[in-house]
Structure 1
């Protein structure tokens, strides 16, 4: 038995009106296949190009090690020159990923390679973020701290994406006071005997190819696995749903500072307690 996932709809092109009507208002994901073919980035952006324009920059790296009380919130696990990192990606599989890197601030010329699309939402133009990964590297299942609407543009390779909306929280083994699920769940091939609540979760899946954009609605959980080395850019718009917006404010103003405080106060006991609570609370809800 596998996860209950339906294919994310795919369209070649879409108008602003159609996007707002069919995907934004009902909060449904969609892959737009041909949206950026007129961007210079469509033909220019690959790993070699990124190495040529930013190879000397030092970048933050993350892997899939379990969260430790010694780590700060979103604290990188290592740093490396971008040129060395891209050489590593192309040479061999690595779990190191670049996560939430504001590369366009450090490499301003990249801003000439794309235009901010008009989807009818006000995009936050100061924080286009880049994400890089090697073959089979992956993110934990998580949702973004600001529960934003996300437009995820992929370049140079293929990426597997699995999404769940916030209505599935009871079934995902969510870690309390956090934005992730249990880190030992392999969403690419989950053990449903060990994690039975996942059988109840209903989600979405797709494979992103070079030049395609995935719309991820507000607060959707997402798991990303790089099938080949590659990178993506995310543009985001503030959550419009009042409930999601209030959750975002809580996460930004209270939750992350509370979690950091408890890590310093309780150490690994805090992390272990949260991991156990993810199972206890999920199975309690499942039994009801």
Structure 2
């Protein structure tokens, strides 16, 4: 597996960004996508969040390796937002808050964000999500089901993200009818999953104030180097192919998979694992033949 660093840029014109990154699908770190003068950078911290929403009940997510047969993992516990923030500050933990919409609970927080919109108005500013995680927690390698373009802005801590294009899905051992891979790509058993050796991707290390642009359909494996939190906003897929894939995933594929899982139970998952391994092995053989 080979990873190269993601390029960093300052905010540029919408035309340049769309032509250089969105249309060709090239990830990039934008240093000022959220304007440095945004009030969020001065106001937001854990104590402030506990003050305004500390009593709110939140779902806690843990390791996703226990739910490989599902599109999304189930929460493992509930606690108050305040107790969760105390937890991630006290020690490393794999516990995360996933798609936590604090800005829906406290919509006035949206006023603390000033975007340098490089998409010519395509960003869904009204639909931001927050992600919190403890040091050492990870989000499994996955593709976003709706095929949106994603902008992840880090506000606290350091996050490390590995990125791979859609075309490398077989090397990932993508589970059929799901949007994640059979194996974690870090510290994997290459004898068991040899196709991982042929991955070519990017590594982005995002610091507070920086935003990672993830193109539509790209795989991303997220690691929390420290505890921290980020906000993501999305831009809807633009090409006809991206739109069709997003529609199919949301309306057809997800429901078909749930139905098959209910009917065939473990046999359905076994079929998907077998198919993912078969496709990975075929991709690895094909790649080796190119190198001979």
2:217 match: 219
TM-score (norm 1): 0.92
1:130 match: 130
- What is the SS of the residue equivalent to 2:226? coil
1:174 match: 174
> Is 1:108 matched with 2:107?
yes
1:83 match: 82
Shift of 1:67: 4.4
Change (3 A) 1:12 1:190: farther
Shift of 1:164: 0.6
Deviation string, structure 1 residues 232-272 (Cα, Å, up to 9, x no partner): 11100111121111011011101111121122222233223
Shift of 1:167: 1.2
- What is the SS of the residue equivalent to 1:26? coil
2:276 match: 278
- What is the SS of the residue equivalent to 2:220? strand
- What is the SS of the residue equivalent to 2:79? strand
Between the aligned partners of 2:154 and 2:110, the Cα distance in structure 1 is 16
Which stretch shows the higher mean deviation, 3-12 or 141-150?
3-12
Change (3 A) 1:257 1:234: same
Q: 2:261 aligns with which of 243, 258, 263?
A: 263
Shift of 1:77: 2.7
Between the aligned partners of 2:147 and 2:66, the Cα distance in structure 1 is 21
Between the aligned partners of 1:76 and 1:249, the Cα distance in structure 2 is 26
Change (3 A) 1:65 1:32: closer
Between the aligned partners of 2:179 and 2:114, the Cα distance in structure 1 is 30
2:153 match: 153
Deviation string, structure 1 residues 79-117 (Cα, Å, up to 9, x no partner): 221101111101112211111122211111211210344
1:68–1:268 Cα contact (<8 Å) kept: no
1:23–1:29 Cα contact (<8 Å) kept: yes
Which stretch shows the higher mean deviation, 3-12 or 217-226?
3-12
Deviation string, structure 1 residues 44-98 (Cα, Å, up to 9, x no partner): 2233332222211111221114344997845323222110111110111221111
Aligned residues: 284
Which stretch shows the higher mean deviation, 226-235 or 194-203?
194-203
Q: 2:236 aligns with which of 235, 238, 245?
A: 238
2:58 match: 59
- What is the SS of the residue equivalent to 1:141? strand
Between the aligned partners of 2:10 and 2:115, the Cα distance in structure 1 is 19
> Where in structure 1 do 4 or more consecutive aligned residues deviate above 6 Å?
69-72
TM-score (norm 2): 0.90
In structure 1, stretches of 5+ residues that fail to align are none
> Is 1:25 matched with 2:23?
yes
Between the aligned partners of 2:106 and 2:9, the Cα distance in structure 1 is 32
Between the aligned partners of 2:69 and 2:50, the Cα distance in structure 1 is 32
1:11 match: 9
Between the aligned partners of 1:123 and 1:27, the Cα distance in structure 2 is 16
Shift of 1:144: 0.4
Between the aligned partners of 1:50 and 1:273, the Cα distance in structure 2 is 45
Between the aligned partners of 1:71 and 1:252, the Cα distance in structure 2 is 14
Between the aligned partners of 1:151 and 1:142, the Cα distance in structure 2 is 16
